[in-house]
Amino acid sequence: MSEHVAVLNFLKEAGFKVNSEYRVFSDLDKLINHCYRWQTERFNLNYTIDGLVLKVNSLPLQERLGATVKSPRWAIAYKFPPEQAVTRVKNIFVRVGRTGVLTPTAELNPVRLAGTTVSKATLHNEDFIKEKDIRVGDLVLVQKSGGYNSGNTGRAA
């Protein structure tokens, strides 16, 4: 086998689950259009994704490119822009963390973002609240930060 796609087909034939949505491109513009298309298409999946992994298909070229300590040089993650929603601040309260750090938190009208319901957002600190002039009753733009497994918190912007 000299191509990554042949490995995927082999694994599929051997009974492993392989995502059927993979594509092979020889044209950069088509690859870029594919990435942009999936920014919207991802919402039609029955699972949540936050991006695509783009890989060199040639196994000899993969081997020649090698890897760093952290990742292969022949694959890259294309991350979608974070989902955002507008909602209203219902309340602002201070949470005490396990180390005693005080964190102002906004209670929000719940909104769906990145496969979860967001009803609270960290306001970071008092300076952040003053700088943004965030008050109860305000409309705020909320986005998920730190990926899809970050719980029911958002970040007020």
The pLDDT value recorded for residue 144 is 79
Q: Structural domains in the chain? A: 4-79 (3.30.1490.70), 84-156 (2.40.50.140)
Residue 69 neighbours by CB under 8 Å, 6+ apart = none
| pLDDT per residue as tens digits for the range 102-154 | 999 999 999 998 778 999 998 988 898 999 999 999 999 998 765 544 333 44
pLDDT score at 156? 47
Q: Report yes or no on whether pTM surpasses 0.85.
A: no
Instruction: Give the tens place of pLDDT for each residue, 21-60.
Output: 999 999 999 999 999 999 999 989 988 888 999 999 999 9
Classify residue 148 as exposed, middle or buried by CB count within 10 Å of its CB (0-12, 13-18, 19+): middle
Longest Cα separation, the chain:
61
Instruction: Tell me, rounded to whole angstroms, the distance of Cα 40 from its chain centroid.
Output: 13
